């Protein structure tokens, strides 16, 4: 398995829509952060799928070290 890359040291603030499924990049290689673009191929990583419960602004992890994937838990500030 490859090492996780941290594209940024803060969360991505994104608008999500209730009932829509999104795929969060878990490897840090996607050029479409914070979403997966398939760059994880042959790394051993897979994107994390999540379905938005409501339409809102979500804060998705940018450092890729959260314990609450795909959501930011503040790990980047430690």
| Domain coordinates in residue numbering, the chain | 1-73
pLDDT band at 65 (very low <50, low <70, confident <90, very high): very high
For 21-60, the pLDDT digits (tens) are 999 999 999 999 999 999 999 899 999 999 999 999 999 9
> Could you tell me the two tokens for 61?
């992890």
Instruction: Please state whether the predicted TM-score (pTM) of the whole model is above 0.75.
Output: yes
pLDDT at 66 over 80: yes
The pLDDT value given to residue 78: 86
pLDDT at 1: 64
Residue 51: Cβ-neighbour burial (10 angstroms; 0-12, 13-18, 19+): exposed
């Amino acid at each position: 398995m490859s090492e996780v890359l941290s594209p940024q040291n803060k969360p991505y603030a994104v608008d999500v829509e209730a009932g829509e499924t999104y795929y969060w990049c878990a490897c840090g290689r996607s050029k479409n952060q914070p979403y997966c673009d398939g760059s994880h191929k042959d790394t051993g990583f897979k994107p994390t799928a999540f379905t938005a419960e409501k339409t809102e602004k979500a804060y998705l992890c940018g450092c890729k070290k959260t314990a609450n994937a795909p959501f930011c838990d503040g790990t980047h500030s430690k």
